[in-house]
């Protein structure tokens, strides 16, 4: 497994594969790797010849009051996991290479509408930071396929839209959410949860599943489902940023006739923000 810090060194390492036309797979991460990340690498192993994983805690996507400083950084353990997972190249870019003039002075990528709602509304600037750094990383790595988790469903759509609009020559593949046995979606931020919060956290996924089942059965409308879910989450001790039913393709509110939906939630448990979602396909269109 090669470890490189510079884009130029990465290009040298990837040159033989490019020359041969071997497909290159890319998994961008912020490190503190768990089985969710490994699922992306597993998909890359199946789909491509050579796997590049980046670890970069991107300062540009964190707000001034967010957790950039305390975000878990576990490089040595991450490298062990990457070796075991069959990673070929690890790219560890430095902040100075990606942002030579500082994040505040970089050319930024703003994806309209889809990046402005939901998490975009509660975390202003977050998707600007994500779209900008993913665009840069795709331009440096130039992979054939890049892998993203459905856990961050809005991010997946924002990246897909950015790549389509800017004609970035890459295919985006999505990978289903990996969960603990109790249903909690794996996330680096779960490390912030206290023992008591960790016990309570799986209720987010349970509430999403209950909402999905109620919608699928046709017993309840989207508004009823959203209202009941938000109430029960508050009763369980969560603070709710949003719990909402949307059209899966573009995150607009569903209109009559829509069948492919996604229920998305962002909640706080103490100082930890958790996001999760479930997809559903209705047998009958929403009324
Ligand atoms: P992060 O390191 O949190 O920025 O995540 C890097 C990639 O891993 C993103 O594409 C995430 O959507 C994906 N990811 C994070 N958690 C999970 C999970 N539990 N299951 C599947 N993919 C995940």
Alpha helices in 21-114 (DSSP H): 35-47, 75-84, 95-98
Looking up tokens 């931020």, which residue turns up? Answer: 189
For the whole model, what pTM was predicted?
0.98
Side-chain half-sphere exposure of 185, counting CA atoms within 13 A? 25
- Angle, helix 126-141 to helix 153-165, in steps of 10 degrees: 60
* Share of residues in the chain with pLDDT > 70 (%): 100
Q: Which of 5, 37, 49, 227 is catalytic?
A: 37
Distances (CA, A) of 192 to 19, 72, 84, 88, 94: 44, 9, 26, 30, 25
Q: Could you read off the pLDDT of 178-194 as tens digits, one per residue? A: 999 999 999 999 999 99
pLDDT of residue 142: 98
Looking up tokens 């490190």, which residue turns up? Answer: 31
Distance CA 216, CA 9 (A): 51
The two structure tokens encoding residue 165: 């609009």
Q: Could you read off the pLDDT of 64-96 as tens digits, one per residue? A: 999 999 999 999 999 999 999 999 999 999 999
Does the C-beta of 188 come closer than 6 Å to ligand 1?
yes
Burial 205-239 (b: 16+ CB within 10 A, else e): bebbeebbebbeeeebebeebbebbbebbeeeebe
- Å from CA of 41 to ligand 1 middle: 11
The answer to whether 58 and 133 have CB atoms below 8 angstroms apart is yes
Closest atom of ligand 1 to CA, residue 177: 20
Catalytic residue check, 37: yes
The two structure tokens encoding residue 152: 């961050």
The answer to whether 232 and 260 have CB atoms below 8 angstroms apart is no
* Share of residues in the chain with pLDDT > 90 (%): 97
Query: What's the whole-number average pLDDT of the chain?
Result: 97
Does the C-beta of 186 come closer than 6 Å to ligand 1?
yes
Closest atom of ligand 1 to CA, residue 149: 12
Closest atom of ligand 1 to CA, residue 28: 6
Q: Could you read off the pLDDT of 89-121 as tens digits, one per residue? A: 999 999 999 999 999 999 999 999 999 999 999
Looking up tokens 């609009």, which residue turns up? Answer: 165
pLDDT of residue 208: 98
Distance CA 71, CA 156 (A): 21
Indicate the SS3 state at residue 118: coil
- Å from CA of 236 to ligand 1 middle: 26
Rounded to 10 degrees, the C-alpha dihedral 147/149/150/152 comes to -120
pLDDT at 287 > cutoff 70: no
Distance CA 147, CA 71 (A): 22
Does the C-beta of 30 come closer than 6 Å to ligand 1?
yes
């Amino acid at each position: 497994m090669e470890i490189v810090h510079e884009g130029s060194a990465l290009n040298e390492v990837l040159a033989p594969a490019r020359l041969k036309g071997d497909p290159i797979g890319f998994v961008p991460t912020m490190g503190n790797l768990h089985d969710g990340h490994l699922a992306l690498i597993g998909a890359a192993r199946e789909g491509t010849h050579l796997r590049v994983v980046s670890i970069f805690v991107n300062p540009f996507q964190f707000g001034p009051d967010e957790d950039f400083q305390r975000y878990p950084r576990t490089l040595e353990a991450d490298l062990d996991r990457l070796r075991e997972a069959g990673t070929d190249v690890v790219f560890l870019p430095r902040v100075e290479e990606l942002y030579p003039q500082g994040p505040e002075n970089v050319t930024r990528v703003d994806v309209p509408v889809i990046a402005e709602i939901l998490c975009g509304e509660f975390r202003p600037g977050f998707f600007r930071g994500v779209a900008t750094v993913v665009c840069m990383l795709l331009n440096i790595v130039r992979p054939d396929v890049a892998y993203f988790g459905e856990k961050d469903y809005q991010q997946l759509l924002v990246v897909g839209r950015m790549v389509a609009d800017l004609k970035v020559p890459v295919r985006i593949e999505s990978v289903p959410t990996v969960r603990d046995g109790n249903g909690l979606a794996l996330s680096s931020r779960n490390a912030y949860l206290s023992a008591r919060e960790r016990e309570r956290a799986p209720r987010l996924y349970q509430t999403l599943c209950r909402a999905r089942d109620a919608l699928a059965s046709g017993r309840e409308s989207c508004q009823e489902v959203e209202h009941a879910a938000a109430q029960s989450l508050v009763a369980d001790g969560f603070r709710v940023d949003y719990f909402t039913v949307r059209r899966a393709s573009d995150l607009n509110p569903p209109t009559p006739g829509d069948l492919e939906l996604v229920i998305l939630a962002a909640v706080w448990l103490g100082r930890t923000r958790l996001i999760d979602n479930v997809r559903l396909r209705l047998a009958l269109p929403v009324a």
